[in-house]
Amino acid sequence: MIKQIDGWLTAPQGFVAAGVKAGIKASGKEDVAVIMSTVPAAAGAVFTQNKMCAAPVIVSREAAKQPYAQAIVVNSGCANACTGEKGLADAREMASFTAGLLDIDEKGVYVCSTGVIGHFLPMDKVRTGIADAVDKMDESEGESAALAIQTTDTFIKKIAYEFEIGGKKARIAGIAKGAGMIHPNMATMLTFITTDAAIAPDVLKRTVKAVADKSFNMVVVDGDTSTNDSMIVLANGLAENEIILSEEHPDYPIFFEAFLRAAQDLAKMIAHDGEGATKFLEVNIIGAASFADAKLAAMAIAKSPLVKTAFFGEDPNWGRIVCAAGYSGAAMQADHVTLSIGGVRLVENGLNVGVPLEELTSIMAEHDISITVDLAAGKEKATVWTCDFSYEYVKINGEYHT
Amino acid sequence: MIKQIDGWLTAPQGFVAAGVKAGIKASGKEDVAVIMSTVPAAAGAVFTQNKMCAAPVIVSREAAKQPYAQAIVVNSGCANACTGEKGLADAREMASFTAGLLDIDEKGVYVCSTGVIGHFLPMDKVRTGIADAVDKMDESEGESAALAIQTTDTFIKKIAYEFEIGGKKARIAGIAKGAGMIHPNMATMLTFITTDAAIAPDVLKRTVKAVADKSFNMVVVDGDTSTNDSMIVLANGLAENEIILSEEHPDYPIFFEAFLRAAQDLAKMIAHDGEGATKFLEVNIIGAASFADAKLAAMAIAKSPLVKTAFFGEDPNWGRIVCAAGYSGAAMQADHVTLSIGGVRLVENGLNVGVPLEELTSIMAEHDISITVDLAAGKEKATVWTCDFSYEYVKINGEYHT
C-alpha cells in the first residue's frame, strides 16, 4: 500500500529544513537551504557524468563514500562550476561551516550549487545564509527549502508517499529542480529525497543508482548534461521498520516501489517543466534486443529536434520518429517496425497504415502524448520522458545575454 | 596546383547530365536527373548508417559492390523510404529502366531519392522523367541536374576544381543537396562527385570513405541522420593520367587533396544552408587523446541546442561550450581546458579569463564564427561545421503539417 500524501522533505520523521534569502540570486528570492536529519542517515547519491563537474559535486562525491550523512547544504544563483581551486575551497567551506553550526561531522554534509557557470560564490552571503537557514530549520519549513533550490522552474516539483513496511508506517518525500531554466546558464538538475525507512547504507547506495536509471536518467529536455546534476537520498530509519540489510529482504520491494514512484513522479515533472515546453511526451520502446538498445532508441527519438518541433507543431510526422529510431544504433527489423501515437497504430511492418488525418489531429492536440515504437528485435523495453521544442525554447536560450 | 573553376558535374571530361520537371514535386520544379559517364567509371560511395534506410539506398549499396558504374538516376519530391517491397521494386526499376535507355549494365546504375518518407513513387512520372532526362542529357545541362536534387535548399551547392596529375590536366566537380529543408520530411543529404582522373576502383572506394570522414561526416545541422544520405563518386579516367593503383602512387596526394577540398567545400555549404541558420560555426577541438575523442567533443558542442541558441542570440556563453565538451565522453583535463571564440581566448586552465564583454560582442556579431577548445589530453584534433538554432528552425520544422 503506497499512498500519496501532501508534504515536503520534512514529511518523513526526523527531518528538518529551511530556505532563506541570502542575496545570491539577483531576483532576491530564496537561494540557500539546509536540510538535515536529526540522526545520522544512511545516504546514497548519484552525480553528473560531466567531466567539467562543478566543485560541489567533487565535495559531495567524497561525502557519498561515507555510509551515513546528516545534512545537505545547497545554494542557487551560482553553480560554482569552472572555478578551480578557489571554487573547491569554497565548496568545502560550505560543508565545514554547516557541520560546525550543526555540530556534526563535516564528512556527513553534501553540498550542491546551481546557477551561473564560471563565477565564484559570494562566500559572505553564503555563510550568512547558511547560519540563517540553520536558525530557521524545523519541520514546517519544507516549502522554503524547496523554493531555495529553484532557479526559474515554473512550478515546484515535490512528491511524498506513505507506505507500510514491516508493519511500520514509513514515508518518502522528494523535491527536484529541473530544466525550467529561464536563466540559461542554470542547466542543473538537483533532487533531494528523504525517508524515515531503515535501510543499510550499501543497499541504499545500490538502490539509488538503480532508481536513478529508471527515473532521472530517463528524462531528457535538450540532451545537455549539466556540470552540477546531483541526486541525494537520506534514509534515517526513524520509521523503525526492521532494517533492510539486502535486496533479498522481504520489505525491499515495497521500499523500492515507493522510492521509484517518487523518483519517477519528480522526473516526469522535470520533463513537464522543460524550457518552453508545450507538450509532455512519453516515448516507449518495446521489442528491443536489450534495455540498452531500448533506451538508445527512446533517447534518439526524445532528443531529435525534428521530432520535438513536429510535436510542437502538432504534426503527426511519423517518418521522423522511425528515422530517429533507425539512426539510434539500436537493433531493429526495419520491415517489422510498428509505431503508435496516443494509442493509434500509424505504422505496421514498417509501412504507413493510412490512418485518416482527422483521427490524428485530435491526438496531436493533447498536452500529454505517448509514442510507442516496437523495434521487432527482442523483448526488452524502456520509457523516456521529454517535452517538445518551441519558439519559447529558442527565446529562453537565445535572447538572454551573459 | 589545385585551381577552382566554374563548372557543373559535366566539367570533367566525358560526363553528361540533365534534370527535368517530371511532376513529382508539388512545386512543379525539376525533380528527376540522370548523370552519366560516357565510359565506365571507377565508382565509390558511402551511405546512411540509418537502419531504416530507404529503398534506393539498398539498390545503390548493391551497385557499390561493383568496381565500375556509369550512371546515377535521382528523383526529389519522394524519398521512397518506409515503402517495403513495393518501394524496393520501384527503386530497382529506376535502375533497370535507366540502364535500358542508356544501353548499359543495370548493375552500374546508382539510384537516389529524396523527399517525403512513407509515400510510394509515382512510377509513371518517374519513367517519363527519366526518359526525358536521358533525351536532354549533354555537357551543358549540369545546372538542371543540380536543380533536380534540391528540395528547398536556399542555394545550389556546387564546386569544381582543376588540377595537374601526372602531367595531365584533370578536373573534379561536385554537387550536394543539404539540410535546407523547408519541407520538413526532406531530411536528406545527397552528394554526387565526378572526376576524369584515372584511379583504380578499390583505391577510389577506400578514398571515398576517407574523404567522407573528413568532410560530410563532420557536418551536423540538427543531429538527425536521414534514411537516404548518399555520396556517390564516379572517376572515368578520361584525363589519361597514369592510373592510380594504390595510395602509394606519387599522384595520389594531389588527387586526394583536390577531392577532399571539393568535398569539404560542399560540406561547409550544407552547414551554411542549415535550416533557419543565421550563423556558420566551425568547431575545432585540439589537444584530444584521439581523433575519435576530438570528433566526439566537437559533435557534442555542435549538436548542443544550448550552444546553438546562444550563438543565435549572439551570447558568448562559454559555460555551455565547455559543459558540452565535458559530457561528450572525450578525455579531458578539466583544469587545463582552454577555449577561444573568434580567436579570442576566453577560458584558460578551465577558468574565465575575464575578456571584456565589448570585445566579445563584435565577434559574436559575425556570420562565420570559429570556436576552438583545447582538451589538454593529447595531440589529436578534429573540426566540425554546423550552424546556429533559430526561431526559423522551429518554424520550418514545426509549422509544417503533413
The residue of chain A nearest to residue B397, with distances taken between CA atoms, is: A309
Q: What number is the average pLDDT over the span A174-200? A: 76
Between chains, do A118 and B319 touch, taking CB under 8 Å as contact? yes
- Of A380, A387, A209, which Cα lies nearest the Cα of A296? A380
Distance CA A189, CA A48 (A): 9
The residue of chain B nearest to residue A228, with distances taken between CA atoms, is: B323
CB proximity B243 to A under 8 Å? no
Share of chain A above pLDDT 70, in %: 96
Boundary of a domain, candidates B272, B289, B309? B272
| Cβ proximity of B48 and B79 under 8 Å | no
- Count the neighbouring beta carbons within 10 Å of the beta carbon of residue B260: 16
**A278 contact residues in B (CB cutoff 8 A):** none
Number of domains in chain B: 2
Between chains, do B306 and A222 touch, taking CB under 8 Å as contact? yes
Between chains, do A391 and B393 touch, taking CB under 8 Å as contact? no
Between chains, do B116 and A319 touch, taking CB under 8 Å as contact? yes
Query: Residue A263: helix, strand or coil by DSSP?
Result: helix
Q: Is the pLDDT of residue A243 over 80?
A: yes
Angstroms from B367 CA to nearest CA on chain A: 16
Q: Is the pLDDT of residue B185 over 50?
A: no
Between chains, do B319 and A84 touch, taking CB under 8 Å as contact? no
Distance CA B137, CA B39 (A): 15
Q: Is the pLDDT of residue A400 over 80?
A: no
Q: What number is the average pLDDT over the span B70-82? A: 93
Distance CA A316, CA B394 (A): 16
The enclosing domain of A119 has a CATH number of 3.60.70.12
Q: Is the pLDDT of residue B52 over 60?
A: yes
Domain check: are A267 and A298 in the same one? no
Lowest mean pLDDT among A177-186, A302-311, A324-333, B78-87: A177-186
CB proximity B72 to A under 8 Å? no
Of A53, A222, A399, the CB nearest to B305: A222
CB proximity B228 to A under 8 Å? no
* DSSP letter for each residue of B179-235: S--SSTT----EEEEEE---B-HHHHHHHHHHHHHTTGGGB-SSSPPPS--EEEEEE
Q: Write down the pTM of the prediction.
A: 0.82
Q: What number is the average pLDDT over the span B333-340? A: 93
Q: What number is the average pLDDT over the span A339-358? A: 91
Q: Which of residues 167-226 of B touch A (CB under 8 A)?
A: 184-185, 187, 222-226
Cross-sheet strand order for the sheet of B351-352: B351-352, B344-348, B338-341, B368-374, B280-288, B380-387
Bridge-based pairing state of the strands A68-78 and A380-387: unpaired
CB proximity B359 to A under 8 Å? no
**A223 contact residues in B (CB cutoff 8 A):** 303-305
Between chains, do B187 and A320 touch, taking CB under 8 Å as contact? yes
Domain check: are A296 and A363 in the same one? yes
Between chains, do B306 and A350 touch, taking CB under 8 Å as contact? no
**B338 contact residues in A (CB cutoff 8 A):** none
The active-site residue, picked from A83, A114, A188, A338, is: A188
CB proximity B253 to A under 8 Å? no
**B306 contact residues in A (CB cutoff 8 A):** 184, 187, 222, 224, 397
Boundary of a domain, candidates B218, B247, B272? B272
Which pLDDT score is estimated for A185?
Answer: 44
Q: Is the pLDDT of residue B187 over 60?
A: no
pLDDT tens track for A305-324: 889 988 999 988 888 899 88
| Cβ proximity of B386 and B368 under 8 Å | no
pLDDT tens track for B244-298: 999 999 999 999 999 999 999 998 888 888 878 899 999 999 999 999 999 999 9
H/E run at residue A35 = strand A32-47
Residue A58, domain extent: 2-272
Q: What number is the average pLDDT over the span A111-138? A: 95
Query: Which residues on adjacent β-strands are paired with residue A66?
Result: none
Domain check: are B233 and B337 in the same one? no
Domain check: are B17 and B136 in the same one? yes
Torsions phi, psi for A392 (to 5 deg) = -60, -35
Between chains, do B326 and A118 touch, taking CB under 8 Å as contact? no
* DSSP letter for each residue of A358-379: HHHHHHHTSSEEEEEEE-SS-S
Distance CA A114, CA A187 (A): 8
Q: What number is the average pLDDT over the span A354-380? A: 93
Domain check: are A118 and A88 in the same one? yes
Domain check: are B336 and B368 in the same one? yes
Query: Residue A330: helix, strand or coil by DSSP?
Result: coil
Which pLDDT score is estimated for A222?
Answer: 67
pLDDT tens track for A59-86: 999 999 999 999 999 999 999 988 999 9
H/E run at residue B305 = helix B305-312
Domain check: are A264 and A320 in the same one? no
Between chains, do A402 and B313 touch, taking CB under 8 Å as contact? no
Q: Is the pLDDT of residue A157 over 80?
A: yes
Domain check: are A295 and A249 in the same one? no
> pLDDT class for B90, splitting at 50, 70, 90?
very high
> pLDDT class for A182, splitting at 50, 70, 90?
very low
Q: What number is the average pLDDT over the span A137-161? A: 92
Of B81, B316, B323, the CB nearest to A187: B323
Domain check: are B374 and B317 in the same one? yes
Which pLDDT score is estimated for A25?
Answer: 92
**B335 contact residues in A (CB cutoff 8 A):** 84
- B188 catalytic per annotation: yes
Domain check: are A63 and A175 in the same one? yes
The active-site residue, picked from B188, B194, B207, B338, is: B188
CB proximity B336 to A under 8 Å? no
Of B84, B312, B402, the CB nearest to A317: B402
- Mean residue pLDDT across chain A: 91
**B389 contact residues in A (CB cutoff 8 A):** 305, 394, 398
- Of B34, B17, B189, B194, which Cα lies nearest the Cα of B109? B34
Mutation choice for B interface testing from A82, A303, A315, A360 by most B CBs within 10 A:
A82
Which pLDDT score is estimated for B49?
Answer: 79
**B53 contact residues in A (CB cutoff 8 A):** 326, 334
The enclosing domain of B370 has a CATH number of 3.10.20.340
Boundary of a domain, candidates B239, B272, B305? B272
Which amino acid does the sequence have at A196? D
Which amino acid does the sequence have at B33? A
- Mean residue pLDDT across chain B: 91
What is the interface size between A and B, counted as CB pairs within 8 Å? 226
CB proximity A389 to B under 8 Å? yes
CB proximity B325 to A under 8 Å? yes
Q: Which long-range contacts (CB under 8 A, 24 or more apart) does B246-254 make?
A: B246/B200, B246/B203, B247/B203, B247/B206, B247/B207, B251/B165, B251/B166, B252/B203, B254/B2, B254/B163, B254/B164, B254/B165
Distances from the Cα of A14 to the Cαs of A10, A171, A238, B112, in angstroms? 7, 11, 7, 68
Domain check: are A193 and A46 in the same one? yes
Which pLDDT score is estimated for A223?
Answer: 64
Lowest mean pLDDT among A145-159, A284-298, B178-192: B178-192
Give A246 or A118, the one with higher predicted confidence.
A246
Mutation choice for A interface testing from B293, B309, B335 by most A CBs within 10 A:
B309
Domain check: are A183 and A299 in the same one? no
Angstroms from B124 CA to nearest CA on chain A: 21
